[in-house]
Structure formats: C-alpha cells, structure tokens
Amino acid sequence: EESIETGYAFLREAKPGDKVFKSNDDDDGEEIKDSDGATFPVILHDDKVKRATASTINATMVTKTHLVNVDELEMAFGHKFGYSMYIASNRETKGLGIQNRYCKYPNVLCLDYDDFTYDSSDHENDIEEVVLRVREAMLNQFHVLQNVEMDTNRAIERLKEMEKTTVIMENRPFEVHEPRFGIHGGHRNRGDSIESPVPRPHRSYQPSSVSFVHLTSLYSVKDCDARFCPYGQDQSVAVTSMQRARDKSKKASSVTLATSVLSGDGIAVPDDFVRLPDLNRSTTTEYPYLSPQKDLPFINDVFSNLRLASPDMKPYDYVVYTNADIIVREDFYDVISVAIEQGYDAFTINRQTISKGVGDDENSDTYRLYTAEDLDIIYKTSGDIHPGTDCFVMKRSIFDGLDMGNLFLGYPPFGKLMLAQIEHLAKSFT
C-alpha cells in the first residue's frame, strides 16, 4: 500500500549505461554496455532501473511512459493484469500524440493536453475543475470504473502537493527525478533544448530475432470479381495485408509466407508465397455423400505439407496460422515478436470483425466494397470484437506435435480443438 501511494514508475527502453536490477533485493544489477543489449523495457522505480514485469509495474497504480504503441504495450503487459487502461495526453496543436486509431480502443482514453492543464499561478481554483473533468472522462470511457469508489478530494489534495513539489524541482537538473510524483528537474521553463515529456511517436523496442512461417490455405474463386481475382473479396484483402506486414516488418527477411492449395489450383498461390506440396484430397473426395458439395481441405494435410517442405525452406522458429480471410495489421509480425520476447511459446490473437465496405447501406448506390487498395482505411476502422479463434502463433516444436485428425476447414469445431491441443503442448500460453 505504501508503494502504491508514494511510489513512482516510468516505463521506457533500456539504454547503454543503465544498471538494471531484477528486483529490490537484487544488489548487483546488470549494466547495459551497448545499444545491442538495449532491446527490452525497464521501469524507473524507487531510484532503481528494473526490468519491466507485472510485479514491477504493479508496484504503482499508474505508470507513465513515452512509449505510444498501445498494441505493443498491451501485447507485452496487458494480459498480465485483469484490466489495463491507457490514458493518452495528446498535444494536437503541436502534432504530438498517439495514433488516432488507438483512441477508438475501449480501454484507451485520449485527452488533449490543454483539456487538463491549469494555471500554476492560480492552481488552487483550477485543480478541482481539472480533476472533476478527468474523472468524468474516465467514467465515460472505462465502464469498469462505474462501481469503483473514487476519492475526488484526495486526488485534489495530492495534485496540490504535486504542484508544490514541481516548484521545488524547477531549478534542479533535468536528469534528477523526485521519487514520489516522478517530477524531473527543470520541468518548467526549460525551452526547446530539452526533450519534451509529452508522448510522441517512438520506437518501443526491437522485435526478437526469431523467424516465422505464416501459413494459410488459399483457394481460387470461379467467376471472381475482377477487383479481387483470383480470389473473393476477403482473401484478396487478407493476402495483400500479409504481404504488406512482411514488407513493413523490422525483420522482413525473417518472415516467410506459405500456402498449400488443392491440386490444380496453383493460380491461388501468389508469386512471393512458398507453394507447399498440393493437397490431394478434400471433403469432396472423402465424403461424396455430403450436401452441398464443397472442396474443403483437411487441416492436417495442410500442416503435414509444411512439415514435408521444411527441409527445403528457409529455417523458421515459429509458425503463424490464420484462416484465409484474416487481415493483419502492418506491424503484425513485430507485435508478435514482442510477445515471444516475453517468453511465450504459443498464443492466439482474437480478431475484430469489420464491415465489407464503405457506407451504411449495402443497397445504396454510394456503397463500395473494400479492396486491397483500402488497407489504410481498414486499419483505421473500429471493428466488433469476435469471440472465435482464427489466428494462432506457436513454437515450431508445438506445431510439429499437432494432430488434427480428419478435421476440415470452414466449419466448427476446428478452432476450439486446435486451441485445446496448443494449450496442452505449450509451456507458456496466453
């Protein structure tokens, strides 16, 4: 309780010269001597630089950071807590802040810096108004707080105490931090020569050096729309998103895209995908009595073909499997690298479902279907949370241990059974 009330935590990257401690009881810290070693996040807390973990972050109720990639922060730390909330202080007038798409997330509140600043010369009257304004914004955005008792008076008094501390720290060196509120020296009147504390686009930390093969099972569509050929709309956009994410990755050379298609369906394999051995059976050949007839592949055949081709492929450490209609963001491979860096050998990523086009009425003349050219628009779209499992990331040894029997793609319970096997085989799953 004492650390929650008085402690201070600031999340940033490790950097050369840091002496990083694993815990308060650690007397020897690990010194970071070069930039190659500075690839993990640390917490400044109790006058020590510590590795950022659930326990070090939980030492205070609030952690401040200049790292503004919410996806990476959530992937690295969010799953370690029951619920995590992000409040961004944006300075729109200076073009400083997080990407607008994050502001649409249900656990992110974006405030403009000017909306909660106050006149330091008349702070007695302004502070109460600011606290009440921020409290209302938090309650409106984070419904989980509706039943949480908030001590507004205590918050006002705490902010007044912080204001007094700020005055004391004005003439201290910028590198000096006050331990209770985390205020650094020269916080005011420092000019433009000192780095601004306002969040801005910033590299968080480098993705891990592991290599991936991203596997999916593609198929061509007869009489396809010219905008999407040789696929339907969903596959056309999904394939382009995979290519874009690979090309935009900080470790693009470590990403291999691969697919296994039914025999005679080679047109469905893009030139930059590895074509695995063709599938020689489907639900049509094995279950001819089923109606309606569909050429659905067996997932075990897809997996087996990757294993057969592996000796002739570029080496890989992890397998990513997604259904053929899953669109990935352009930082997808770097984000999953962050999770792997945290020690997970398998995990799933739940999808959001978006509309198929632009416009509210599909029957309207102005309605337009999304194409692969619309990825930038799609990335800014706020989708609906989907409970199903469509994206799996697993260590190669786990993938090699999967046995999906005669389950075929396209229908339940494929996702749930695959998830159950992965959870059983994984040592660290989320």
- pLDDT tens-digit series, residues 285-326: 999 888 888 899 999 999 999 999 999 999 999 999 999 999
CA dist 227 and 143 (Å) reads 42
The 3-state DSSP composition of the chain as helix, strand, coil percent (nearest 5) reads 35, 15, 50
CA dist 398 and 394 (Å) reads 6
Q: Are 236 and 280 in contact (CB under 8 A)?
A: no
Q: What percent of the chain has pLDDT over 70?
A: 81
CA dist 353 and 228 (Å) reads 20
Give the total residue count for the chain: 430
pLDDT band at 1 (very low <50, low <70, confident <90, very high): very low
- What does DSSP assign to residue 5? H
pLDDT band at 344 (very low <50, low <70, confident <90, very high): confident
Q: pTM (2 decimals)? A: 0.59
Q: What percent of the chain has pLDDT over 90?
A: 33
Can you tell me whether residue 375 is helix, strand or coil? helix
Per-residue pLDDT for 208 more than 70? no
Per-residue pLDDT for 159 more than 60? yes
Average pLDDT over residues 81-98: 77
**Predicted pLDDT at 2:** 34
Closest-CA residue to 67 (of 112, 9, 113, 13): 13
- pLDDT tens-digit series, residues 42-82: 777 666 777 777 677 766 667 878 777 888 787 777 666 66
Q: Which of 66-75, 154-163, 180-189 has the lowest mean pLDDT?
A: 180-189
Per-residue pLDDT for 387 more than 70? no
